[in-house]
Chains A and B, each alone.
Chain A
Amino acid sequence: MSAVDWYLTLATGLFCIGAYGVLARRNVILIIMSLELMLNAVNIALAAFANFMPGAAGRGTFFVLFIITLAAAEVTVGLAIVVANYRNHRSVQANEFSEMKG
């Protein structure tokens, strides 16, 4: 295994943990946290590529910065929705929000 593979393995592990959290958790706040985990897994992968690929240095970190900013904004909106939803449903359990049921 070369050096970059270690980083990628770490990123894959984090991503899978995050995905599992998104799919399996019932608490919306925990889901959002898992989402952050997935985003940061991607950040690690991008930073690793940026470090190990000579031509990609500037562009990789550039993307990472973008994703961090985006994640902050996303969490803001997401938490605001959670709060609004809590006011309506008195709950933060995702399985209780079933207005989309056909």
Chain B
Amino acid sequence: MHVLITLIPLLPLAGFIVTLVFGRGLLARRPEIVSLAAVTASWVLSMIVVVHVFGAHDKTIDFNLFTWISAGSFHVQWGYLVDSLTAVMLIVVSTIGMLVHYYSIGYMRGDGGYYRFFAYLNLFMFMMFMLILANNYLLVFLGWEGVGLCSYLLISFWFHKKSASQAGKKAFLVNRVGDWGFMLGMFLMFVTFGSLQFGKVFAKVPFVSPGIVTWISLLLFVGAVGKSAQFPLHVWLPDAMEGPTPVSALIHAATMVNAGVYMIARSYPLVSHSHTAMLVVMIVGTFTAIYAACIALTQNDIKKVIAYSTISSLGFMFMALGAGAWVAAIFYLFAHGFFKGLLFLGSGSVIHSMSDEQDMRLMGGLRKKLPLTFWAMLIGALANVGLFPFAGFWAKDEILGGDFAAHYYLVWVVGLVTAFITAVFMFRLMFLTFWGENRASADVQHHIHESARTMTVPLVILAIPAALLGLVVGLPPDGGFMHHFLSPVFYNVEQEHFAWAGRGGALLLVSLVIVVAGIYTAYVAYLRRPELPARAAARVPWAYQASQRKFYMDEFYDVAVIRPVMGFALWLADVVDTKVIDGAVNGLARGWDGFGRRLRPLQTGRAQSYAFATFAGLFVLIILIRYIWGA
């Protein structure tokens, strides 16, 4: 089993190297073949490992391969940890990763950087596997930074486009802020516990002061806020949609952005020890959930809507983690990976058939022309809004039930409102895209066609778990398969017994009504009476503007961060560099120049004076040797 686990990340790494080196030479005809083989093999291995963990009595496999870093008392092992939490992540990452690889064959065909794209995807898979398989924080950080790098490379994949290269830079820089927190957290952790290995750290948590545990947890959470695009570090994710759509599906919906949730969940023994940290996680998550949902309501770019929906969903997960509904959070992550990946791949199929148009105002009526895409996306949307019996329903309601059970009633209400808004904007997207008349130009309309088989098959495959996952692993609520499977990881979590006829059932009914009301609102506003949204916007123009402009977050960062930094840089360039630094360098040169000028008269040019100096020197030396140094 150890060999198989070791191979899971290694195969995509090999695929990356081979594809990058031979992509334009030996493999020029089919550059994707090696990377496809690598991820498929990794998927098979992952499934074997998952089945093994599922069947094993002791679900934890923890082993070290070699000492990675050793300096003084600081030792870090290169080691892997597989338990039921890792198994869940393995399923999501390997499955969606593989499907996105296959999908990309059709989506990226004919692109100049075709082989490069697959090489990057493989590198991403390697880093993501490292992130979820690592058994210590530093190795997690390796994967963490690695996926960040791949995210940067893939967002700015079409680097000749100014907006794409800038979006990549933005993602990289914003994530840096989060990584700063993660690193400080690790420093503090090492100083406190003397180790970065999960097992060793968690074993010592009860013996250190709660204040330090709170600080470590909060610093780790800063990292999670950056990677998982939580307020106020969410601004990079919508811009990341500049990348090719398969990238949005894989990295910015289903896997990488979940890394923050995974990391906090992995740190369960640590974070759950600090009430303050839990509270902060929940507040940030809750606020992000409703905040992003409000923005998604007015966006016109189909990918931007799904991007804000992703931020909102990630906020939901953190809300669950902070409220103590740990299993529900992972359950939601699991389901979300599938349905959000499905929605992104579906939107990619739509964009592809619309001649790269992303504005929903120019779509419509695609239901008949793209039937497969339509049905797949409908399932994805229903799962996302959480309608019975799709996957999102069970996961979302476990989270809301968890909030209620933990007596965070305000959070529960905000969660319900978010669910309502989610239903509205998700079906706004569906209605604008697939119903009504097509509003594109005649030329674009002429070219509309269902996407190639390599693109639709992954959609269909993803639609299955998006529809049925909740029924399979989530029933009965708060006691389903997920709970039993993850109970060794999240030990000591108090679990209320779910009662269909009691409070649990009532909560389910409430949220179901809310969701249906949301879908109906969207139906009225965007199909029955399409003039309504414009009238509503005209009634409260400031609210519409605020949402449309993303609550001015980018403008805020522009004024609060970018301009001061730019001003400071300009000051450094114009004042410090030209006056101070150049002044010092030139002054030094002038000083030596003057010194040299003073020495010039010594060089008379007369051979005789040189000869005199030689003789005088000789004389002095003789005196010195004979009388002073004593021969």
Binding site for B on A (CB under 8 A): 19, 22-23, 31, 94-95, 97-102
Residues in chain B near residue A102, CB distance under 8 A? 599-600, 602-603, 605
User: How close is A27's CB to chain B, nearest CB, in angstroms?
Assistant: 11
Asked if B606 is at the interface (CB within 8 A of a chain A CB), the reply is: yes
CB-CB nearest in chain A for B612: A23
**Cβ contact within 8 Å between A98 and B600:** no
Question: Which of B600, B603, B607, B612 contacts A97 (CB under 8 A)?
Answer: B607
Question: Would B611 and A22 count as touching, CB distance under 8 A?
Answer: yes
* CB < 8 Å neighbour of A100 from B603, B611, B612: B603
The residue on A at minimum CB distance from B609 is A23
Q: Which residues of B contact A95 (CB under 8 A)?
A: 606, 608
Tell whether B492 is near chain A: CB-to-CB under 8 Å: no
Interchain pairs with CB closer than 8 A, number = 32
Interchain nearest-CB distance for A20 vs B (Å)? 10
Q: Which residues of A contact B602 (CB under 8 A)?
A: 102
* Interfacial chain A residues near B606, Cβ < 8 Å: 94-95, 97-98, 100
- Give bound CA distance, A98 to B608, whole Å: 11
Instruction: List the B side residues contacting A23 at CB < 8 Å.
Output: 608, 611-612, 615
A31 contacts across to B, CB distance below 8 A: 608
Question: Are the C-beta atoms of A98 and B605 separated by less than 8 Å?
Answer: yes
Give B165 Cβ to nearest chain A Cβ, in Å.
56
- In the complex, what distance in Å separates the CA atom of A31 from the CA atom of B599? 28
Task: Show 14 residue pairs from A and B whose CB-CB distance is below 8 angstroms, ordered by the A residue.
Answer: A22-B608, A22-B611, A23-B608, A23-B615, A31-B608, A95-B608, A97-B605, A97-B606, A98-B604, A98-B606, A100-B605, A101-B604, A102-B602, A102-B605
What separation, in Å, do the CA atoms of A102 and B599 have in the docked complex?
A: 9
User: Inside 8 A of A94's CB, which chain B residues have their CB?
Assistant: 606-608
List, in ascending order, chain A residues with CB within 8 A of B604's CB: 98, 101
**Interchain residue pairs A-B with the least CB separation, the first 6:** A102-B603, A101-B605, A98-B605, A100-B605, A102-B600, A23-B612
For B597, the closest partner residue in chain A by CB is: A102
Give bound CA distance, A82 to B600, whole Å.
Answer: 27
For the complex with contacts A23-B611, A97-B606, 6 further pairs of A-B residues with Cβ separation under 8 Å are A31-B608, A94-B606, A97-B605, A102-B599, A102-B602, A102-B605
A82–B604 Cα distance when bound, in Å, is: 20
Nearest neighbor of A95 in chain B, beta-carbon distance: B606
> Using an 8 Å CB-CB cutoff, how does the interface string of B562-593 with A read, 1 for contact, 0 for none?
00000000000000000000000000000000
B residues in contact with A97, CB < 8 Å: 605-607
CA A23 to CA B616, docked complex, whole Å: 11
**B601 (CB) vs chain A CBs: closest residue:** A102
Shortest CB–CB separation between residue B616 and chain A, in angstroms? 10
Shortest CB distance A64–B (Å): 23
Please give, as numbers and ranges, the residues of chain A lying within 8 Å of B612 by CB-CB distance.
23
Within the complex, the shortest CB–CB distance from B212 to chain A, in Å, comes to: 69
Nearest-Cβ distance from residue B159 to partner chain A, whole angstroms: 56
Chain A: minimal CB distance from B617 (Å): 13
A97 CA to B604 CA, complexed, in Å: 10
- Minimum CB–CB distance from A25 to chain B (whole Å) comes to 8
In the complex the two chains form, what is the Cα distance from A102 to B596 in whole Å?
A: 10
A92: min CB distance to chain B, Å: 13
Give chain A residues whose Cβ lies under 8 Å from the Cβ of B605: 97-102
Which residues of chain B are near A100, meaning CB under 8 Å?
A: 603, 605-607
Known: A19-B615, A23-B615. A101 touches B608 (CB 8 A): no
